[in-house]
Structure 1
Amino acid sequence: MKKTLILLLSIIIFSCKKEERGFHDYLRSLDTLVLPQKFSLNSRMNPSKNHDSILFKKYKHRWTHAPYGIAFNNERIVGIIEYSIADNGLAPFLITFDNNGNKIDSLNILGNSSFGMKGQTLESAILDTNLKLVVIDSSKSWQIDINENKIANTTELKVSKTTYKILKNGKIKKMK
């Protein structure tokens, strides 16, 4: 009788134990993106249709709002694009993980975009199939008068390019 009771309790406890879901379950819930991917403040990014919101909270970048999808997934690393809702549009983030779900690195792709009284900076980027991310930054600046009005013919434009490479170990390296 005692053995039967122990067996019965063990079965009940085992069957009531909640199944732990992990990183691979999260990946299965995300859309797969096709590279190259282009990003700008006007990009339309919808969350992955069937993403697991509980697992997103577990694996997300602390500043992001929703997962956009898997940018790449190979035998060593996974790259996921997530986005936050910023004052000036959607802000895409690239987060890299090892295959066990440990975060390796992250990058706010359009992190320098800004607007102010004396200027604005707009960025656009493209992530290609070679896991190279190129960010183009165009910054306009101007002078303002005492009433905070833009002074005519004082606008300057600077354009720069920054290239990042996602390394085999998952680190995102700024190239020179």
Structure 2
Amino acid sequence: MTDVSSADLDRVCDEGERAPTADQLCGKACFVCGVSEAPENKRILVHHSRTREAWACEEEAGESAKLTGVPWWQSEPCPPWCGGLHSANDHPLDRVHISEWSSEIPLSLAELDVLRGASDILYSVRFVSTYVQQRIRDARPTVLLSVDGKGELEVTLTEANAIAEALLSAVRRAEGRDLRAVAA
């Protein structure tokens, strides 16, 4: 049986509801409605930080994400870098871990974006952005690069490291700090 402290049971959820009961946490009752008679083939496993035994009635699996913070389709915990913005209703293509961290670098040599309004013209600096993502079924994360949020380039961690090294090498050469580059 799952170890459940009285503090866990007394914890109040964001929506003002009581925390799950001991029966819900140890898999004896539906995590959403509390019923215990649901047939085995109509139970959907849900994920909760305190137990791997929790389940919800088939028709209520989507609601379990509101209580557990983890959608029914997610079989593993989020990576530590994930922003955790998942929903039970996410389309299969949107079931992705996306990093809270991102980097946006303004491009001083790029032509400005021109935004024409009804009565004025606005200019916007272009930028390169990068972030980390991992699709739910992928074994490893990838790095995404894009210019102005368009034309994303998705690369493996190995490729991202190689690109980073190539950029650093180019900078070192241009600044005259890479003696091997001068000799070559």
Query: What interval of TM-score do these two structures reach, taking the shorter chain for normalisation?
Result: under 0.3
Larger radius of gyration: 2
Higher RCO structure, 1 or 2 (CA under 8 Å, sep 6+): 1
So what's the TM-score if we normalise by structure 2? 0.27
Higher helix share: 2
Higher strand share: 1
